[in-house]
A and B are shown apart, each in its own frame.
Chain A
């Protein structure tokens, strides 16, 4: 992982390994980057996202904290105000809430309230989403809570390459980023990633598949089912454009609106419950910006407005490929 190597190494990696690769790269490139969290140093993190980093960079830069999420969030903010670039890991998104006051009342507004005197370049990383048979509180998708807060970026990668490039971008960004990692696909896909230190843009959706008939808008683990649905629908002669939103906030409305203007139809797919979800903001943006291009109402395929069920029933909560296919058939029929 030496950045001084003349030609960048390529690695066949999973999403969680790509996170690890990006952390190695960011720490080697910039000594201001430090990591903190529970069980991240010696243990390498409960998902092994930080494995090897303590050996490469030492306990001074890879810190096991006491078990207190509020403290992790606030300590990271304090470090950031003094010129460090902390990357704080929360073991699961379901445990970040103790740190919400710090994130909402301080991280998001440090730059604004000091008129730029201090700023807060922190990355708050957390695995999120269902589908891994985890205990309760380990499976929710609450990205909308953070997308609602001005001053935060919310970024969700859905492939190893985007995990690498977006995490590098998040760490280099001078402002706070909530970086949510879809743990259901932490190890589902392997991709070849060039460890060249190239970041991806933080304010652009990724069009994964071009199509003419309908725009499928999604992010996180649902990208997998959405791509499967698009493939299946192409067999029926329906041409789907698939967009991975990836940068949930601030939202790249332009890419979404251009696509919907072309296809005239939109289906939004997300794991989170529907009420007040990010899908609602996207649907409203389409209504405001592309209403006259629409040939059918915007449809959402989402989790239900209830507590995430324990894992025996989680597959009934999570959007499945068939649910997406049926929703597309519905809007195409109109």
Chain B
């Protein structure tokens, strides 16, 4: 017997659970401005998240998926992308969306039941939130194909959860990314839980990253709560894509600190002890500790940041709450470029009913 292939998957971590360096840090640690901006974004995303949940609990927002625990890797993704790159999200990417220029009011509109919440003005080429699991992977392959066909130096980053890696969409898309040498980075946010299904029963593979090998592309594991590990991997994979060197899969290992959505109760399927341990590995606190110990941060700055984030979120909430719903006829107005004759009578009927309701 002759061995014709062996594979290797690496795992990167720079900080311990408390934010102390385990060794030499990557060059990204030298860019204090960028690291501080990352920390601010993580805190803003976390502040927004708490408010969105509070709005849902008081009937002012619909079912909402908490981003708690994902702020670190989401921020690393957002920082690695240039405005000309294209982001293809799943549905727990609030930290990235903010850096892409999606406004907090738009995020609230989307989860608050208003289609205008996806009419993003500042990142017109990014795809909208994708709720059907893993389906966005195929779109990302198409987006990256368009970039490659036109010969542009742009990267496409697609996010998905650990549960999504069980679907054909992911496997078919990494396969195409390998076969067509696409400028595409898949970031699997492995938060250990697909609603109530633990990572261990999604796949018999030891790691998710190794699935990339089957597609002929490299797979890396990073500690998704370690900003330096995440941003270094993202910077590298995005630059590799832009340079036409092909696709990458990054498995970012993290933990979903909240419920799956506001309609979920995670205490039904995981222990308080597990959650407590996960909080000890939290990426936001970890980076804050690192900033403290390197002289970039202090309690006063933290206080100012918390107040700023609260004010920013509050302003967005006011904007969201003050936005009147679209007229019901909007449900027909964006279906096609031009409303087909066949639908005109239904639109008139709806408009009449709406006017009747107002009277």
Contact = CB atoms under 8 A, between A and B. Distances in A.
A252 B141 CA distance: 36
Given A82-B86, A113-B118, A252-B342, A68 B168 contact: yes
A70 B138 CA distance: 8
Contacts, number: 139
B127 A118 contact: yes
Interface stretch (A16-24, A71-79, A183-191): A71-79
B149 A115 contact: no
What's the dominant secondary structure at chain B's contact region? helix
Given A78-B145, A78-B146, A203-B342, A117 B124 contact: yes
Given A84-B146, A116-B119, A71 B337 contact: no
A175 B334 CA distance: 11
Contact of A84 (B118, B138, B149, B337): B149
* Interface-centre pick from B125, B142, B334, B342 (highest chain A CB count, 10 A): B142
Nearest to B182: A75
A175 B341 contact: no
A174 to B, nearest CB: 4
Contacts of A106: 130, 132, 135, 139
A276 interface: no
B341 A74 contact: no
Contacts of B149: 34, 60-61, 79, 84
A102 B137 CA distance: 11
Contacts of B116: 115
* Interface-centre pick from B86, B116, B143, B336 (highest chain A CB count, 10 A): B336
A194 to B, nearest CB: 27
A73 B176 contact: no
B119 A71 contact: no
Contacts of A113: 115, 118, 128
Interface in B137-192: 137-147, 149, 168-169, 172-173, 175-176, 179
A98 to B, nearest CB: 8
B290 interface: no
B359 interface: no
A74 B335 contact: no
- The 7 A-B pairs of least Cβ separation, nearest first, read A78-B142, A74-B138, A250-B342, A78-B139, A75-B142, A82-B146, A250-B340
Given A78-B127, A105-B132, A151-B336, 6 more contacts: A60-B149, A66-B176, A78-B143, A78-B146, A81-B142, A115-B118
